[in-house]
Amino acid sequence: MSHTISDLLLRNLHDVFGEIDPVRRRAAIDEIFHEDAVFYDPNNGVFRGRDEIDRIAGVIKATHPDFQYQPLSPPEETGDGGRVHWVSGSPGKPPAYAGTDFMIVRDGRIAALYLFFDELP
């Protein structure tokens, strides 16, 4: 199944890194990531393939299970890439941190995902 870049950016936020249920998270990863996808995390390193992306997404979510990701503006697309600026935190409280996801898409699936942490707005 092919997805738009904007859809992939939002699904990655909510259905992968925002998902607490490991079965639903893995199903989303299998659907939207290429088998050989790479995730670049400035704090934790480089993760290659769906299994490693699934593992690190679970580790990250476990550190703050109640946090939710909220885009600050609609995703932007150009060529085969896109980005979305977001904040994350507990519902009803000020955001705890902010970031930007940038991705490269190949054939309607995520080929590479780059995480950048930003200053809170």
1 band by pLDDT with thresholds 50, 70 and 90: low
Return the pLDDT at 2: 66
Nearest to 74 by CA among 13, 17, 2: 13
**Cβ atoms of 11 and 112 closer than 8 Å:** no
What is the rounded average pLDDT of the residues 61-86? 97
Q: Domains of the chain: which residue ranges?
A: 5-118
Place of tokens 């400035």: 42
Q: What is the mean pLDDT of the chain?
A: 96
5-118 carries CATH number 3.10.450.50: yes
